[in-house]
Structure 1
Amino acid sequence: MNRLHQVDPAQATGKTQELFGAVEARLGKVPNLMRVFANSPAALEAYMNFSSALMRGSLPLKLRESIALAVGEINGCGYCLSAHTLSAGKAGLSKEDVLAARRSTSADDKFDAALKLARAVALQRGHIADADLQNARSAGLNDAEIVEIIQHVALNTLTNYTNEVARTVLDFPEVKPGELEPTLATV
């Protein structure tokens, strides 16, 4: 059960109603996380703007979803793992790709370096070693991509923490942190 109120889209008015309309147009529904964010229309709008801006960045969708899975696993966020496992499958990641991303690895060298950097940023709260940055650059990541990776870690940490504080009720097929094998049936 949620510890924070979920705003009902049928009861939303003003700015919240407008934002919910945009969410529904993009996703086909208003996920429970957005309903939690809507307690503050400013917070919902900030999240939507941040997310939208990063979708127009240089990182491909498969990598963005992989980062979301890696960060969700690190932060133990079942809601985000559930949502992004579903999204990752729709984006073309295989079952094996999803499992690897949750472990912060990839068979693709550049994706692997990006996930290793994201993991370091998340675990070390930005205080990464010079070697972490050098490894990312050696794999071909440029400064724009590195900045976007950091931003995706921040965006996903925001949603992870919000879900964990709120105990957001799942509205996606359940994926549990730390239980990597059950993911196979949900992709």
Structure 2
Amino acid sequence: MPRLTRLTPDTAVGASRDLLADLVSRHGRAGDMVSTMAHSPAVLGGYLQLSRAMGRAKLDRRISERISIAVQVRQGCGLCLDAHVDAARALGVDEEEIARAREGTSADPAIAAIIALGLRVHREPASITDEQITALREHGYSDRAIADVVGVVALNVLTGSFNLLAGLTPGSDTDE
């Protein structure tokens, strides 16, 4: 059961009202997470800006969704996990690779290496080694794609943590 109430452009105030009104005018609605984030204009604005920025990431979406799956399995946000599994399927990632992503790996060594980086960024970023970055470059990843992993993880930590705090669960509307 949600712990925080969902706001609308009519019930939100200040910057949150403007942000929600803009979202509703462009998309016809604002989902549960965004509507609940509206309690904090800083959190809502930050989420929207980071989400838009990550839409321009160099890292292939089929890979970033697998990183997201791996992170959300460990973080425990079922709402986010379901959204990222659905997104991976929509991008053509097969069920075996989705299952591997849940385990934090891939049959493709290059993808397994970048998922491992994502998990390390999530759990223990101080343990990232020069050798790990060199190996990613040898797999063909650019510095930009490697840096994008931090953005993918940061967005997952933000959304997953928020959903868990707010009590948003699978089966409710999602905008992850």
| Contact 2:34-2:44 at 8 Å conserved across structures | yes
| Contact 1:59-1:145 at 8 Å conserved across structures | yes
Question: Gapped runs of 5+ residues in structure 2?
Answer: none
**TM-score, structure 2 as length reference:** 0.83
CA distance in 2, matches of 1:27, 1:65: 23
Aligned to 1:6: 6
CA distance in 1, matches of 2:117, 2:25: 33
Question: How big is each residue's C-alpha offset from its partner over 1:91-123, in whole Å with a ceiling of 9 and x where there is no partner?
Answer: 222222221222222233332221111111112
Aligned to 1:110: 110
Aligned to 1:147: 147
Aligned to 2:40: 40
Q: Secondary structure at the match of 1:57?
A: coil
Aligned to 1:165: 165
Aligned to 1:176: none
CA distance 1:28–1:133, change in 2 (3 Å): farther
CA distance 1:21–1:95, change in 2 (3 Å): farther
Aligned to 1:54: 54
CA distance in 1, matches of 2:99, 2:167: 24
Aligned to 2:78: 78
CA distance in 2, matches of 1:69, 1:33: 18
- Tell me which amino acid in the other structure corresponds to 1:86: D
- Tell me which amino acid in the other structure corresponds to 2:118: A
CA distance in 2, matches of 1:139, 1:89: 24
CA distance in 2, matches of 1:27, 1:126: 40
Shift of 1:131: 3.3
Aligned to 1:64: 64
Shift of 1:75: 1.1
Shift of 1:29: 4.4
Question: How big is each residue's C-alpha offset from its partner over 1:110-146, in whole Å with a ceiling of 9 and x where there is no partner?
Answer: 3222111111111214432333323322222221111
Shift of 1:156: 0.7
- Identity of matched residues, %: 32
Q: Secondary structure at the match of 1:73?
A: helix
- In the alignment of these two chains, the number of paired residues is 173
CA distance in 2, matches of 1:112, 1:64: 12
Aligned to 1:130: 130
| Contact 1:9-1:30 at 8 Å conserved across structures | no
